[in-house]
Structure 1
């Protein structure tokens, strides 16, 4: 049996953490000094990342992450993905928790260690477009 590709590792991470709504599953996938760069800000350490994910899951009820496409570089040290999140607004972007269905897209680039552990994730989301939709009158 061959080792999983870096894309398979990232997609397994998304299913175990985001789609199963289980921040503790992060322990199986990332290094202790993991870094998430989101919106230009760094969240440093596995524990801080778990707290960040927990907070995000509180703001988007029934969150579902759908992978649009993923690919990796030749040696598997980088994975790039486009994805879509759906769920219910429970105060996302600091707005009223009105439970309206929301959807937004994003991209992620991952650094993957040779043993398959995730080192760093750079994320960009369509937050401005989501904010505009939620504040239309």
Structure 2
């Protein structure tokens, strides 16, 4: 990341690097979690909190097992002027390998999401995520 850019731009680059490297289809880079996330990283998703990089890495790995070739298309990333909050809007896609507890059938899955991160000391420190999972589930069970 560049040192000659604003804190806002640095936060945007951090979020973009996370989405591009960790959620990149068949070339997911789970090692990027150590580089981009604080050691005590927390994510709040579906009324559940995952604490710590190791637990988060396992959560991502489990999710990527259930949604084969999971990838995020970045739709928008923006940050506040201080660079301590960054928001991303994205579209996640992949193939059903047991997501939502459904039988693995390889059908395409696609849903939108929004993540709000807290940035601290140049790393992603905390995240609140909302996904259109109900809509994706309904698409899978209605076919």
TM-score range, shorter chain: over 0.9
Q: CA deviation at 1:74?
A: 1.0
**Residue aligning to 1:108:** 115
Q: In the alignment, which of 52, 56, 62 is matched to residue 45 of structure 1? A: 52
What CA RMSD, in Å, does the superposition of the two structures yield over aligned residues?
1.2
Question: Aligned with 1:75: secondary structure?
Answer: coil
Q: CA deviation at 1:18?
A: 1.2
**Residue aligning to 2:43:** 36
Q: Distance in 2 between matches of 1:64 and 1:47?
A: 21
Question: Aligned with 1:5: secondary structure?
Answer: helix
Unaligned runs of 5+ in 1: none
Question: Does residue 23 of structure 2 align to residue 15 of structure 1?
Answer: no
- State the aligned residue count: 136
Q: TM-score, structure 1 length as denominator?
A: 0.94
Question: Does residue 57 of structure 2 align to residue 56 of structure 1?
Answer: no
Q: In the alignment, which of 105, 117, 128 is matched to residue 134 of structure 2? A: 128
Question: Aligned with 2:28: secondary structure?
Answer: coil
Q: Distance in 2 between matches of 1:64 and 1:117?
A: 21
Q: CA deviation at 1:52?
A: 0.2
Which stretches of structure 1, 4 residues or more, deviate above 2 A after TM superposition?
none
Q: TM-score, structure 2 length as denominator?
A: 0.90
